């Protein structure tokens, strides 16, 4: 495995290990006894004082996509040595594969791990303090890119054009202080300030790419850029610095993907964010709420930037990505090796030249979320409410919008539960959460997205959209 792949896998692993999500669980929005409602709207005051169990108070992990395992992996023909092959196999019908894709295909993984948190009533309101780690990884791949990979040359003058190929990864520690204040019997307001410590950031954006097929090679023109920051330990050499061969003198500053390395940990940036929120009792049985969270910026230092070179360059095609079982060398093309080869070829497709200064800094806006909610207490049973939440997440290729309907029951003071249904950029989903909050503790578990068919590794077979939120906290006071 190359060093470049190790870095990418490490960034992805941050999401998996922190158990993942930049975006708080929306199923909990109308649960009064949920200790972390302030993450969704800083105007929400806690029911009781609380202190989290270290690293167990709030774990939220998610994977979101409009494609799935069955989009890219297929059963092989009877008698094959292996059970699965990739979409690149000649045994997989092109139309069958391409019809499963959208115009833009998103895959995103998020993680939010609260290391410690506390909430308490004081200063004429409700106050919160928390320390946590938040990570997110996202990729956007247009359908035409897969047509290019699968179909290749279909005639003497075959051309492809792609727009908006994006990939991004981000990891940061967060220290947050919040306050919710009651203005009057109808209006509550809240705000939270967040200090951010950057752990790592990487983003690549191919704005457009044109591919023209020649007799024995493909001519490619592309416009794009790359930004990477992971502290002083990040090494992104050019071909010249790595001592690698290159054909044209102008290729000396090409990034040598195989020699990218990360040899020591260090903070990669600093940032500041703010959450703002309000709730308003419009009618005795109807409460409206609004919040915008993660307004702010992150400044990344010790950064490496690059961009695609000018002019036209060539690529001789994806080679041996999926081999029929009757062809020589099939034993050397197991599924993992096929993906390794595909990755190696994709590196050749994206020719990034490192900027002259080699390092520097850049600033990016945080991924903000807008939420608008309404909750109505049912006249026929005052322990049942209906609710609606509109959410919009602003994160480039990982952006999404959702509307979600809720039925929430609060039969006793120490227990509430919700079921809900949402329609979003990633399709529709069923959510739920149960929340125990008697005096002494708060335990909750729930999910915004359900799945019913998984691989042996518990990855959803259809659209890869699933998440889990759980936590245990000590409560006290009234």
The full set of domains in the chain, from first to last, is 3-67+102-309+351-476 (2.40.160)
Q: Which pLDDT belongs to residue 81? A: 57
Element (H, E) at 210: strand 187-213
CA distance 155 to 153: 6
- Length, in residues, of the chain: 478
CA distance 178 to 173: 16
CA distance 10 to 106: 20
CA distance 393 to 64: 13
Per-residue confidence in pLDDT tens, the chain, 478 aa: 343 333 333 333 333 333 233 467 899 999 999 999 999 999 999 999 999 999 999 999 988 888 888 888 887 766 555 577 778 788 889 999 999 998 888 888 889 999 999 999 999 999 999 999 999 888 888 998 888 888 877 777 788 888 888 888 889 999 999 999 999 999 999 999 999 999 999 888 888 888 887 666 667 788 888 889 887 778 888 888 888 877 777 778 888 777 788 777 788 899 999 999 999 999 999 999 999 999 999 999 888 888 886 655 555 545 444 444 444 454 555 555 656 666 666 666 667 888 866 567 889 999 899 999 999 999 999 999 999 999 998 877 668 899 999 999 999 999 999 999 999 887 788 999 999 999 999 999 999 987 666 666 556 666 777 889 999 999 998 7
Is residue 216 helix, strand or coil? coil
Start-end of H helices in 99-183: 143-151
Q: Which pLDDT belongs to residue 22? A: 46
Report strand pairing: 125-142 vs 104-122.
antiparallel
pTM, 2 dp: 0.82
Q: Which pLDDT belongs to residue 70? A: 83
Backbone phi, then psi, for 132, in 5-degree steps?
-155, 180
Q: Which pLDDT belongs to residue 306? A: 86
CA distance 168 to 177: 28
Q: Which pLDDT belongs to residue 315? A: 54
Q: Which pLDDT belongs to residue 19? A: 28
CA angle 350, 355, 357 (to 5 degrees): 155
**Residue 430 contacts residue 26 (beta carbons within 8 Å):** no
Q: Which pLDDT belongs to residue 218? A: 66
**Which of 126, 132, 119 shows the shortest CA–CA distance to 54?**
132
**Which of 65, 423, 363 shows the shortest CA–CA distance to 229?**
363
For 145, the token pair is 């890119």
Q: Which pLDDT belongs to residue 266? A: 80
Q: Which pLDDT belongs to residue 62? A: 87
């Amino acid at each position: 495995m190359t060093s470049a792949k190790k870095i990418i896998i490490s960034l992805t692993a941050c999401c998996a290990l922190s158990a993942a999500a930049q975006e708080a669980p929306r199923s909990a929005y109308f649960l009064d006894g949920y200790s972390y409602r302030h993450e969704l709207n800083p105007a929400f005051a806690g029911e009781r004082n609380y202190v989290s169990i270290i690293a167990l108070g709030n774990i939220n992990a998610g994977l979101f996509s409009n494609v799935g395992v069955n989009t890219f992996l297929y059963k092989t023909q009877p008698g094959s040595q292996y059970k699965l092959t990739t979409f690149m196999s000649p045994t997989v019908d092109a139309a069958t594969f391409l019809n499963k894709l959208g115009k833009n295909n998103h895959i995103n993984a998020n993680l939010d791990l609260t290391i410690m948190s506390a909430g308490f009533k004081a200063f004429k309101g409700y106050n919160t303090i928390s320390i946590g780690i938040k990570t997110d990884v996202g990729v956007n791949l247009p359908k035409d890119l897969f047509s290019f990979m699968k179909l290749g040359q279909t005639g003497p003058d075959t051309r492809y054009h792609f727009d908006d190929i994006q990939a991004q990864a981000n990891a940061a520690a967060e220290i947050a202080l919040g306050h919710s204040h009651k203005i009057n019997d109808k209006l509550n307001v809240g705000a939270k300030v967040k200090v951010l410590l950057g752990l790592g950031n990487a983003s690549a954006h191919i704005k457009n790419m044109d591919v023209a097929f020649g007799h024995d090679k493909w001519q490619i023109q592309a416009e794009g850029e790359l930004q990477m920051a992971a502290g002083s330990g990040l090494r992104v050499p050019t071909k010249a610095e790595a001592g690698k061969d290159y054909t044209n003198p102008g290729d000396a500053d090409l990034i040598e993907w195989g020699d990218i390395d990360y040899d020591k940990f260090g903070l990669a940036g600093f940032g500041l964010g703010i959450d703002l929120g309000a709730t308003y009792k419009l009618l005795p049985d109807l409460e409206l709420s609004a919040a915008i969270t993660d307004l702010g910026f992150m400044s990344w230092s010790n950064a490496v930037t690059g961009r695609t070179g000018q002019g036209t360059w060539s690529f001789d095609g994806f080679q041996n990505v999926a081999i029929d079982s009757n062809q020589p060398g099939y034993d050397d093309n197991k599924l993992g090796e096929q993906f390794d080869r595909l990755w190696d070829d994709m590196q050749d497709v994206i020719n990034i030249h490192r900027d002259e200064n080699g390092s520097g800094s850049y600033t990016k806006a945080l991924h903000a979320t807008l939420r608008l909610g309404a909750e109505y207490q049912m006249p026929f049973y005052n322990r049942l409410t209906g609710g609606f939440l509109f959410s919009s997440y602003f994160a480039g290729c990982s952006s999404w919008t959702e509307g979600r309907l809720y039925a929430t029951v609060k039969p006793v003071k120490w227990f509430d539960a919700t079921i809900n249904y949402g329609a979003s950029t990633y399709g529709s989903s069923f959510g739920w959460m149960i929340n125990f909050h008697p005096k002494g503790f708060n335990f909750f578990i729930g999910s915004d997205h359900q799945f019913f068919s998984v691989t042996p590794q518990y990855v959803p077979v259809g659209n890869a959209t699933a998440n889990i939120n759980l936590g245990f906290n000590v409560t006290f006071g009234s």
